C-alpha cells in the first residue's frame, strides 16, 4: 500500500512535490496539504487534496505517514522536530536548516523518536552531475585535481523571502547547497580549507552571488559558484584531470571530453611555438592527433528514486540515500563559507 504524504507549505516547491509524486511515484500518495496562506489551500482543495486547518491537524491525522516540509528555510527545523515527535517521518526541503547546529537538534530528535528524516537533495539525480560523477568514478581521464561547478543567471535581485536573512535567504543556502551536496557526494576526502567570496549586488541583506574555493585533503581543489548577475555564462562543469579535461556546458548536457591519445605524448618536445601572442612553449595548442575527443557518457538520471528510496526504507527494504549525516557535513561547509566571508580570509577546517 502507498505511503500517505502531507505537504506543509504549498507554494512553488510544495506544488512541484505534489505534481511529481502524484504522477510519477506509485509508492507514495499525496493526501493533503497545510499552508498558512488561504490561496494555496484553495488550490489544493481544487486538486481534490485534503486541506488541514493547522500543522497540528496534519500531525493528528493517523493516516499520514510522511510529512514533506516545503516552507521557507527558517521554518524547517521547528516543523521537522514537531512532526517527528508526533510520530511522522519527515522529508525537509533543502537547505535543511540555516546553520549546522539546528540540524544537530533535528538529528537528536530523529534518534530519540526513531523516525526517518531525510532532505530533498534532488540534484543528486541531475543528469549533468551524474555524467561528471561517472567520468570521475570510471577514471575516464584519470584522477581529478581541479573542478569547477557553477550555475549562472542574470535575473538580478532575489525575490520574496529569499532576499531576507531571517528566512535563511541568499544563494549559498539556495542553489549553493545543491552544488555543495553534489561535491561532498562525489569527492571522497575531507574538506580542509574554504575561501569564500560573497556579493550582495542587488539584494542588500543576503548574498545574491558567491564564489568559494574548497580544498580537499586528497589534493583536489573545487570551485563552487552561483551567480544571479552574470551576463555571459561559463560551462556548468569544467573538470581537470591528469589525463584530460571534461566539460558539460549546460543542463541540456552538451559537452565533451578531450583526453591524451597516448600518455607517452605527454613528454613534449621542448620547442618554441609562435602564436599570435608571441612565442611560447607551454601555452601553445597541442596538435590534434595527440588528443582524442570522447562523447560524454550515458547515465540514468531518475529523480523519482528519491521518493522510491524513502518508501523502500520505510518498508525495511533499503538503506537511506540522502542521510542526515551527509547533510550535516554540507551545513558545516556552509557555516565555514559564512565565517570565511565575515573574516575576509580562508578558514582551515576538518569536515
Ligand X SMILES: NC(=O)c1ccc[n+]([C@@H]2O[C@H](COP(=O)([O-])OP(=O)(O)OC[C@H]3O[C@@H](n4cnc5c(N)ncnc54)[C@H](O)[C@@H]3O)[C@@H](O)[C@H]2O)c1
Q: Smallest distance from the beta carbon of 176 to ligand X, in angstroms?
A: 11
94 binds ligand X (CB under 6 A): yes
* Pairwise CA distance, residues 321 & 318, whole Å: 9
75 binds ligand X (CB under 6 A): yes
Residue 271 has phi, psi (to 5 degrees) of: -115, 155
The helix/strand/coil state of 300 is coil
9 binds ligand X (CB under 6 A): yes
Interface pick for ligand X out of 73, 100, 113, 228 (rule CB under 6 A): 73
Specify the stretch interacting with ligand X by CB under 6 A; choose among 71-79, 101-109, 215-223, 256-264: 71-79
Q: Smallest distance from the beta carbon of 71 to ligand X, in angstroms?
A: 4
Query: Strand pairing partners for 205?
Result: none
166 binds ligand X (CB under 6 A): no
List binders of ligand X among 169-228 (CB under 6 A): 174
Interface pick for ligand X out of 43, 51, 68, 71 (rule CB under 6 A): 71
Q: Smallest distance from the beta carbon of 225 to ligand X, in angstroms?
A: 18
Sign (positive or negative) of CA dihedral 126, 130, 132, 133: positive
Residue 13: other Cβ atoms inside 10 A = 18
Over its C-alpha atoms, the chain yields an Rg (Å, rounded) of 23
8 binds ligand X (CB under 6 A): yes
> C-alpha cell of 22?
502524484
Interface pick for ligand X out of 6, 70, 103, 226 (rule CB under 6 A): 70
Q: Smallest distance from the beta carbon of 123 to ligand X, in angstroms?
A: 7
Burial per residue of 209-247, b for 16 or more beta-carbon CB atoms within 10 angstroms, e otherwise: bbbbbbbbeeebbbbbbbbbbeeeeebbbbbebeebebb
* Pairwise CA distance, residues 90 & 104, whole Å: 15
> Contact 178/129 with Cβ under 8 angstroms?
no
150 binds ligand X (CB under 6 A): no
153 binds ligand X (CB under 6 A): no
Residue in the shown chain whose Cβ atom is closest to ligand X: 11
Interface pick for ligand X out of 43, 97, 100, 122 (rule CB under 6 A): 122
Task: Supply the DSSP string of 329-346, one letter for each residue.
Answer: HHHHHHHHHHHHHHHTS-
35 binds ligand X (CB under 6 A): yes
120 binds ligand X (CB under 6 A): yes
Nearer to ligand X, 67 or 241 (CB): 67
37 binds ligand X (CB under 6 A): yes
Q: Smallest distance from the beta carbon of 121 to ligand X, in angstroms?
A: 7
Interface pick for ligand X out of 87, 156, 160, 204 (rule CB under 6 A): 160
* Pairwise CA distance, residues 11 & 316, whole Å: 32
Order of strands across the sheet that contains 28-34: 50-51, 28-34, 3-8, 66-69, 89-92, 117-119
11 binds ligand X (CB under 6 A): yes
10 binds ligand X (CB under 6 A): yes
| Interacting residue ranges for ligand X, rule: CB under 6 A | 8-14, 34-37, 40, 70-73, 75, 93-94, 120, 122, 160-161, 174
Amino acid at each position: 500500500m502507498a505511503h500517505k504524504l502531507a505537504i506543509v507549505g504549498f507554494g512553488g516547491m510544495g506544488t512541484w512535490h505534489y505534481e511529481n509524486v502524484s504522477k510519477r511515484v506509485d509508492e507514495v500518495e499525496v493526501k493533503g496539504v497545510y499552508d498558512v496562506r488561504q490561496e494555496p489551500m484553495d488550490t489544493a482543495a481544487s486538486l481534490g487534496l485534503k486541506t488541514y486547518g493547522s500543522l497540528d491537524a496534519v500531525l493528528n491525522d493517523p493516516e499520514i505517514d510522511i510529512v514533506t516540509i516545503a516552507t521557507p528555510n527558517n521554518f524547517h527545523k521547528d516543523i521537522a522536530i514537531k512532526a517527528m515527535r508526533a510520530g511522522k517521518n519527515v522529508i525537509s526541503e533543502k537547505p535543511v536548516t540555516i546553520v549546522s547546529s539546528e540540524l544537530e537538534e533535528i538529528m537528536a530528535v530523529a534518534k530519540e523518536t526513531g523516525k526517518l528524516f531525510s532532505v530533498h537533495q534532488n540534484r543528486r539525480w541531475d543528469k549533468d552531475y551524474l555524467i561528471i560523477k561517472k567520468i570521475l568514478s570510471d577514471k575516464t581521464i584519470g584522477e581529478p585535481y581541479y573542478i569547477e561547478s557553477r550555475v549562472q543567471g542574470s535575473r538580478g535581485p532575489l525575490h520574496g523571502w529569499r532576499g531576507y536573512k531571517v528566512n535563511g535567504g541568499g544563494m549559498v543556502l539556495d542553489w549553493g547547497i545543491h552544488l555543495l551536496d553534489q561535491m561532498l557526494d562525489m569527492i571522497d576526502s575531507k574538506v580542509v580549507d574554504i575561501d569564500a567570496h560573497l556579493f550582495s549586488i542587488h539584494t542588500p541583506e543576503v548574498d545574491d552571488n558567491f564564489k568559494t574555493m574548497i580544498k580537499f585533503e586528497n589534493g583536489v581543489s573545487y570551485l563552487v559558484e552561483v551567480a544571479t548577475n552574470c551576463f555571459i555564462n561559463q560551462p556548468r562543469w569544467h573538470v581537470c584531470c591528469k589525463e584530460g579535461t571534461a566539460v558539460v556546458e549546460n543542463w541540456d548536457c552538451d559537452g565533451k571530453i578531450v583526453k591524451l591519445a597516448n600518455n607517452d605524448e605527454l613528454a613534449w618536445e621542448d620547442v618554441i611555438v609562435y602564436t599570435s601572442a608571441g612565442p611560447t612553449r607551454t601555452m601553445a595548442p597541442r596538435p590534434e592527433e595527440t588528443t582524442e575527443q570522447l562523447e560524454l557518457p550515458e547515465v540514468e538520471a531518475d529523480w523519482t528514486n528519491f521518493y522510491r528510496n524513502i518508501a523502500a526504507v520505510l518498508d525495511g527494504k533499503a538503506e537511506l540515500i540522502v542521510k542526515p549525516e551527509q547533510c550535516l557535513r554540507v551545513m558545516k561547509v556552509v557555516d565555514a563559507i559564512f565565517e570565511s566571508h565575515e573574516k575576509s580570509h580562508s578558514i582551515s577546517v576538518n569536515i
